[in-house]
Amino acid sequence: MISLKKFDKVFFNSLIDKEKILLGENFFTVFENKTKVGIVGVVEPNFLQIIIKKEFRSKGLFEIIVNLIMEKMNLNCLSATIDKDNIASLKACKKAGFKVLSKAKLDLLRKKGFLKENQVRMIKNISEKQHKSLYSIILFLGL
């Protein structure tokens, strides 16, 4: 069972790739049963920050964790800024239902200086209906 608990800074500092993460207020340690497997957080207004411990990657945890944090923080929409060469992150986001913004929107963000040339912005939207049914499933499973 995956759960989100109090942020553990010492654990975070032990993680490979921690420099990719911008820390903020709303951060949690991710547990798989009693084992710490990663860190997840949302930076204002709705930017995902996530890092999974090396040996727990490529097991599909990303999607579960994204759905959990959206429920926990009551978010209908989550954004991710991803380096174009971060293939694992691009693949994980796609599998979890994120969509790359249109070229016009990406160009505008780049023009305004909100996005670098080597980055893309992806967004996951869930409808009110999906949000409620996801919440029921999470309550039912006791996650």
Q: Which amino acid is at 49?
A: Q
Pick between residue 54 and residue 132 the one whose CB is nearest to ligand COA.
Answer: 54
Run of H or E residues at 6: strand 2-6
User: Looking at 5, 84, 91, 132, which residue binds ligand COA (CB under 6 A)?
Assistant: 91
User: Where does this chain touch ligand COA (CB under 6 A) — which range of 6-14, 80-88, 106-114, 131-139?
Assistant: 80-88
Find the shortest distance in angstroms from Cβ 21 to ligand COA: 7
Of 20 and 72, the one with the shorter C-beta distance to ligand COA is 20
Residue 40 in contact with ligand COA, rule: CB under 6 A: no
d(CA 132, CA 143) in angstroms, rounded, equals 15
- Candidates 36, 57, 72, 131: give the one binding ligand COA (CB under 6 A): 57
| 22 binding ligand COA? (CB under 6 A) | no
User: Torsions phi, psi of 120, nearest 5?
Assistant: -125, 155
Nearer to ligand COA, 83 or 107 (CB): 83
Alpha carbons within 13 A on the beta-carbon side of 117: 0
Quote the radius of gyration of the chain (alpha carbons, Å). Answer: 15
Residues 6+ apart with CB under 8 A from 130: none
